[in-house]
Structure 1
């Protein structure tokens, strides 16, 4: 136990929601101490009060929320009583990172410039050159590719995962005394999340920073924290070390959270059987998608970002097809191609055998009915001033359904997805993240589609809400014969629901396999690296020290010769540096793009270090 004076002391903190319908408690009598260099994990389901608590710790509570009692003491000052200049001075040693990265920075200024301005405002003795170098070093530390180049990019040019990493840099750049990290790893892929957890630990060791780590993922919090608080309905119901919490949970709420964690490798993991191959609903053939990017410092010179490269696969009727990979691997670009938001530069996307690029008029309208998209952000994807009923009816009205039929259909589909009919005239403002995603699913289901493309649909939700929505998806599939394409970085979720899975790296599919084969016998080192970083309470089948990635992905503008994974692969040999592997059969329908499964692979005994020396 750390016997030093606490960095932060919270005593009987209570926060109420003072709404027109009446007052109700959100946080009730929360007390804890945060020691120097300690990482305190706070876990709880959606609606438990985690985010309200994290904001209260930095005195960031606005109406209709109201702090009604308690104290948050930092350096002998109650933060809750500070205002104006004194509050700003205290916040120079306090950092906060939230879970909504895309709206956090000014969209009109480059990301690096904004972080430098913050650093120099807090530490004016640092000159511009030193500040720039420190920011670029931290961008590299959180594995943002090409940090020198990305320093000058605008927020709109960052993916959601990269934006979250940039905000972590923004928080760390001033070496804060304590940091509140509110669900910072939730939008990140597993390898980057693992890197961020290590970075937070290094921060506590190097600068003695204390961290309040708020998470919806119990396995992630367990990996990060020294102590755990379990929050239920705004109250702390349990505090233990991570090991004791898992070995001997004392509260029924904690036990229910543990029970909902998907199993991956244990005997009671859900096994997803392959679907009998029938007609292909979607066929992707050698699809390529490039984006032109202006070269910095030039007037009219451009480079090409190769976002999707030579992708080929089929999705069969009634199948759950998964697409996984790190942020920036091309998953979202592929989603835009599948949903015809963009067209490939070359290759084809076929729907029931027809090239969707050639569709127009009524045939295109039918495609839009049959292929529906459910997006990631449950908050930004719903218009805040439109009623829930009108949101669900919108696609029906677009397709010519009259007002009365649209209303009847909207109410019926609300019942299917578990939304009370009484919400029809309500605005989405008061809905939880899980309820908002049900509205998105209802809007997609209104047109009775054949295929739902789920682009990180569950990544913003806690494990309890994910569990409920996955059960909903199963019921809808059984009733309507739906086909799902799950585009996700959440491998535990993919393990539970997908029949076949494509693994993408730098725009290419590097492995395509059935569920069990992929998780128990992956054919590509990159797949093993992803699996080694999955947050889980089970004993991992693959050790991170053997598999976890080194270095950065290559720049997609200037890809090296040979295998694009060679610079990060623990098994690289000479052939990998000069020749690019293609997908090769591993038996059955399983494929992997790796020379390790090729009979013509490197001679035995050749090591990575020898290969590097030879090259």
Structure 2
């Protein structure tokens, strides 16, 4: 069978004056119909440049120096623009940055319909809308028929990525280039997207070039994998053979950096205790915390509904903990982050820092809390002002908190840069041209410059490739040992949580459904939702929980219209009569472990305040 895509001797250069260099060097490979080929490598390896070159989207300051990209025998690089536009029905591309990809002034569904009818004018508007809604539902956009009419600003980042996957797949293309499409998604949605791509290859003979920063994710999707390092193709093997017996030293390093989930016990932080104290000192405490938002009721002029984003959350975080909050998109993690950082006040309950309710802080007290707890955000690009020097960025928090002596400020910033592994020579430079890992180190330095006690990490590593994640986790471990930091990770990356966190809270539809130490959660989870998350987690080792036994179908109920009984019952393979009528409470499973499931022995005994 002839390949649908053939790349030969493809070389791409950066042509900026004074910065000329080779980005891709003599790349060559084939992709057959119905085949999914993975491309993996570190940030800066050239993966995204390759993905864009394959669809003929290379523009200045990049330039193609040599090679061919043949699609069904036609060299795309030699085609005039008019003929290239005619192939857009058969060639689709999905990028890794979803938020700026669609027009913010038009509803998401309408834009996808217009794209479909532009490349397939024989499809009527009603049929196009039905096809788009069916695909939105297939990638688990909640209430797809309703969200069809929402604007991009009303979609979360994960939902936008799923919408763009629908945009790419709606015309049943012969070639789909997927550039890191699962990176911003939680594990269950990523598993659904990969399954959808496999169905596309089987039903429509679609070939897929699947670019990923994660070798475990590539394993889930691709039958064959290419490894790129420094713009060169260093290895190509069937995926399972590449993982079992990598030939190149760079590939061996990639495999070695993958966290082991069940095969070994990670070195987790030891939580310090005061002399003679029976339990660790609590630094953050949540007591029956809820957050309800008033939202406009669709189809009404002035009607509103209550959206219950966080519901009755209770737990403690000890000083020195590395505490994780995990769950799917829409589970309430981001709302909880805003409450923990005092960006919002809760509508019910209390968030206590060292026994003080932070909702009542104002003025200098609030400024003191801001110094104690610092936030490190997800996006290493948009979180940094592009026209401000790195040193000036790091000086700004100190000046806000009353530092005035320029020499002392500069010394403090230089010390922090050295602490987080940033070359001091970058002090007066702009962030332009820095890698995602370097930019994220700037964000960490900006938080560390005030000598905080708590770092709140909101998906801090999710935008980075596995090599940069590996380096930053080592950095976080070093900083915790040196400064006694307490970490709170808001994350959907369970492999990172397994490696870095000693305690984990699992959220579903605004509630904590499980709270456990790391070892208990990964080896003996008490809630079926936790088992579903673990079964969907990409890994290089054999899974402890089989997806066919644990993975959920359907979508979560609406937080506006919560069901009676257990909120998880509509997706639970183990639901029974009591789940319909009675909501489960967090039930004690051990000294420090709790799960909200009727099948836990002793279920029905509510968690007492302070027990967590």
- 2:276 aligns with none
Alignment partner of 2:258 out of 261, 272, 278: 261
Is the contact made by 2:597 and 2:603 (CA closer than 8 Å) also made in structure 1? Answer: no
Is the contact made by 1:272 and 1:496 (CA closer than 8 Å) also made in structure 2? Answer: no
Equivalence map 1:594-609=2 (5 Å): 594-599=597-602
Q: Does the residue aligned with 1:181 lie in a helix, a strand or coil?
A: strand
- 2:133 aligns with 136
**TM superposition shift of 1:305:** 1.4
Equivalence map 1:341-490=2 (5 Å): 341-402=343-404, 403-490=406-493
Is 1:558 the counterpart of 2:557? The answer is no
Give the structure-2-normalised TM-score: 0.96
Give the structure-1-normalised TM-score: 0.95
**TM superposition shift of 1:269:** 4.5
Q: Does the residue aligned with 1:595 lie in a helix, a strand or coil?
A: coil
- 2:248 aligns with 251
Q: Does the residue aligned with 1:266 lie in a helix, a strand or coil?
A: coil
- 1:607 aligns with none
Q: CA deviation digits over 1:71-111, x for unaligned, max 9?
A: 11113322122343222112221111111111111112111
- 1:76 aligns with 73
- 2:518 aligns with 515
Equivalence map 1:570-581=2 (5 Å): 570-581=573-584
- 1:612 aligns with none
- 1:332 aligns with 334
Q: Does the residue aligned with 2:197 lie in a helix, a strand or coil?
A: helix
Q: Residues 364 and 271 from structure 1, CA distance in 2 versus in 1: closer, same or farther, beyond 3 angstroms?
A: closer
- 1:161 aligns with 158
Q: Residues 108 and 102 from structure 1, CA distance in 2 versus in 1: closer, same or farther, beyond 3 angstroms?
A: same
Is the contact made by 1:272 and 1:515 (CA closer than 8 Å) also made in structure 2? Answer: no
- 2:82 aligns with 85
Q: Does the residue aligned with 1:372 lie in a helix, a strand or coil?
A: strand
- 1:546 aligns with 549
Q: CA deviation digits over 1:355-393, x for unaligned, max 9?
A: 111101110110111110000011111111111111111
Distance in 2 separating the partners of 1:349 and 1:206: 51
- 1:323 aligns with 325
Distance in 2 separating the partners of 1:97 and 1:394: 37
Is 1:53 the counterpart of 2:55? The answer is no
**TM superposition shift of 1:406:** 2.3
What is the CA RMSD across the aligned residues, in angstroms?
Answer: 1.3
The answer for unaligned runs of 5 or more in structure 2 is: 274-278, 605-612
Distance in 1 separating the partners of 2:375 and 2:528: 31
Q: Does the residue aligned with 2:432 lie in a helix, a strand or coil?
A: helix
**TM superposition shift of 1:268:** 5.9
Q: Which stretch shows the higher mean deviation, 260-269 or 354-363?
A: 260-269
Distance in 2 separating the partners of 1:382 and 1:224: 33
**TM superposition shift of 1:17:** 1.1
User: Matched residue pairs, number?
Assistant: 598
Equivalence map 1:106-125=2 (5 Å): 106-125=103-122
**TM superposition shift of 1:275:** 5.9
Q: CA deviation digits over 1:2-28, x for unaligned, max 9?
A: xx1111111100011112223111100
Is the contact made by 2:89 and 2:120 (CA closer than 8 Å) also made in structure 1? Answer: no
- 2:610 aligns with none
- 1:589 aligns with 592
Q: Does the residue aligned with 1:454 lie in a helix, a strand or coil?
A: strand
Distance in 2 separating the partners of 1:528 and 1:272: 24
Is the contact made by 1:274 and 1:514 (CA closer than 8 Å) also made in structure 2? Answer: no
Q: CA deviation digits over 1:391-435, x for unaligned, max 9?
A: 111111211212333222222111111110111111111000000
Is 1:200 the counterpart of 2:170? The answer is no
Q: CA deviation digits over 1:267-298, x for unaligned, max 9?
A: 36445656654221111111111122211221
Q: CA deviation digits over 1:165-212, x for unaligned, max 9?
A: 111111101111100001111111111111111000000000111000
Distance in 1 separating the partners of 2:517 and 2:361: 32
Is the contact made by 1:42 and 1:213 (CA closer than 8 Å) also made in structure 2? Answer: yes
